[in-house]
Structure 1
Amino acid sequence: MTGLRVERVGPLATIQDLGRPGWHDSGVGRSGAADRAALRLANRLVGNAEGAAAIEVLLGGLELLAQRHLTVAVTGAPAPTAVDGRAMGPASVLEIEEGQRLRLGFATSGLRTYVAVRGGIEVPPVLGSRSRDTLSGLGPEPLAPGVVLPVGPPPRTLPIVDVAPVPVLSPGRLTVRAVLGPRDDWFADAATLFEGDWTISPATDRIGARLDRRSGGVLRRRFPGELPTEGMALGSVQVPPSGQPVVFLADHPITGGYPVIAVVVDADVDVVAQARPGQALRFRRAE
């Protein structure tokens, strides 16, 4: 089945849908798109089901060659988008003809861009999902030049829309809501999580957003050692012995022994997924 040929890849590009729920008892996490709202929007723009497989692009630098007429939408981090050199607007629906090239430059804000194609990317599913889990290695391999991505049959209906109004991703300080617990009692003063700014570490990936305190301080524990292994949820703010927290993202481990000081509310996990290294982040207590 023809579809899209990968001509060039930037730092990383993977196939993602909304993940593989229901496998925690087998030790397999959900994975899926790091910014779920951006994936859902891209799919809606081209008429797919919200959970159809699309391409998640880290920072940008992707180039695709259409092997037949395709309807495409690009959402998430605003990477400059062009078809055969002609600039296109963000979050717009693009009609690409056979032989034309879709190119993404590098985003000036945000971290992850999503490319959805009408019909969805139809690589073989693994445990019910086409997502690449970078922690376990499940799912299709990261994209590389020369790879051909099959595209499924188009849905019967197509929304009549040219562009979606979307907020601009902030390059400045981000504020995310979090609920203290379940292990906030393990810390001398858990409330310090909400004081001052944290900085997104360069070590951030799909597993978690690693944070450094701008003032150099850390979260101090009250107890030595570690907890017995327990379940870990998406958005958990886990604190290793270094005292520098990690916000768990799409490919997070499903169990762990480091204490979880707080959990980011589900709606704000997508915000953390778009935070760039060096960007400031502040936690706010969820009301």
Structure 2
Amino acid sequence: MLTVVRPGPLALLQDAGRFGHAADGVGRSGPADRAAHARANQLVGNAAGATAIEVTLGGLVIRVEHEVTAVITGAPAPADVDGDPVAHDTPLVLAAGRSLRLRVPRTGLRSYLAVAGGVDVPLTLGSASTDTLAGLGPAPLAAGDRLAVGTSRGTGPVPAAAPPGEATSVLRVLFGPRDDWFTDPAALTTGSWQVSPQSNRVGLRLDRPDGDGTVLTRARPGELPSEGLVLGAIQVPPSGQPVLFLADHPLTGGYPVVAVVVDDDIDRAGQLRPGQRLRFVPA
């Protein structure tokens, strides 16, 4: 059993996601950084999709009631056990009664804490993931929550750790399906963009840093009827300032989608902080 002493700014339970319900209007959700989540689980011997804790900007403190093996991956949050520093990306054994604390990561946004056996919680539509847009799944963790340890077991190679974050992230895009709605869709890949404070697991709102490039200008008036959206879609409202959709994205929307981020680059987008810059390049 794990007890949440402090949740930090935001700590959510996430498994691999909620599959097969898009036709019912329910998205996949799941971890914002899928590779870091899978790595955490596999380092402690779980199936890659076992339920783990996604920690935004550190601050989580948990106490264990029984000995358990744990690991922290993703954004490299300095951590300690009752004041003694512990390594990132390395499994550690927590004795009964010990407390693990994560501080604010040096780079990146989201860290993943997995324990051997996974976290055992009731499923909603077949998943333990918290979808912050739809309000499905477990509530965000709060002080005093007690989490049971499950029995997940897995095999297979452990995915490689992501390289350290860069000052300006580069994300590859495929243009379309609505790039013809813009006078110059290539403006998306000119200059840099900056992550707005109004960003979350649903998506990154992007602004232009002063003097760096132009907004995207519509070539036609009006709006589209709502149509399907996918993970990584870059939707452009009339302001010309894009929204890059992440794990908890809606399934439909009426603003034109100028391009879609290549799936292999989505995990990197999930680690971008407000104020950080990024560039898009053609895939």
> How does the TM-score come out when normalised to structure 2?
0.96
Structure 1 residue 274 corresponds to structure 2 residue 271: yes
Q: Is contact 1:210-1:244 (8 Å) kept?
A: yes
Q: Is contact 1:219-1:243 (8 Å) kept?
A: yes
> Structure 2, unaligned stretches of length 5 or more?
none
Equivalent residue number for residue 121 of structure 2? 123
Equivalent residue number for residue 136 of structure 2? 138
Q: Percent identity?
A: 56
Query: How far is 1:165 from its partner?
Result: 6.6
Equivalent residue number for residue 180 of structure 2? 185
Query: How far is 1:156 from its partner?
Result: 8.1
Structure 1 residue 238 corresponds to structure 2 residue 232: no
Q: Is contact 2:42-2:154 (8 Å) kept?
A: no
Q: Is contact 2:46-2:154 (8 Å) kept?
A: no
- Aligned ranges for residues 86-97 of structure 1 at < 5 Å? 86-97=84-95
Q: Secondary structure at the match of 2:119?
A: coil
Equivalent residue number for residue 248 of structure 2? 251
Aligned amino acid, residue 71 of structure 1: T
Cα gap change, 1:227 to 1:100, in 2 (>3 Å): same
Query: How far is 1:158 from its partner?
Result: 11
- Distance (whole Å) between structure 2 residues aligned to residue 235 and residue 165 of structure 1: 22
Equivalent residue number for residue 41 of structure 1? 39
Query: How far is 1:166 from its partner?
Result: 2.9
- Aligned ranges for residues 4-83 of structure 1 at < 5 Å? 4-83=2-81
Q: Secondary structure at the match of 1:40?
A: helix
Q: Is contact 2:47-2:152 (8 Å) kept?
A: no
> Structure 1, unaligned stretches of length 5 or more?
none
CA deviation string 1:171-224 (max 9, x = no partner): 500001000000000001000100000001111100001110113631111111
Q: Is contact 2:42-2:155 (8 Å) kept?
A: no
Alignment root-mean-square deviation, CA? 1.7
Aligned amino acid, residue 124 of structure 2: V
> How does the TM-score come out when normalised to structure 1?
0.94
Q: Is contact 1:42-1:91 (8 Å) kept?
A: yes
- Distance (whole Å) between structure 1 residues aligned to residue 154 and residue 227 of structure 2: 45
Q: Is contact 1:110-1:171 (8 Å) kept?
A: no
- Distance (whole Å) between structure 1 residues aligned to residue 20 and residue 136 of structure 2: 15
The runs of at least 4 aligned residues of structure 1 exceeding 4 Å deviation read: 156-159
- Distance (whole Å) between structure 1 residues aligned to residue 154 and residue 28 of structure 2: 29
CA deviation string 1:101-122 (max 9, x = no partner): 0100001110000001111111
Cα gap change, 1:139 to 1:154, in 2 (>3 Å): closer
Query: How far is 1:89 from its partner?
Result: 1.4
Match of 2:170 among 167, 172, 175: 175
Aligned amino acid, residue 72 of structure 1: A
- Distance (whole Å) between structure 2 residues aligned to residue 262 and residue 147 of structure 1: 41
Q: Secondary structure at the match of 1:269?
A: helix
- Distance (whole Å) between structure 1 residues aligned to residue 12 and residue 167 of structure 2: 27
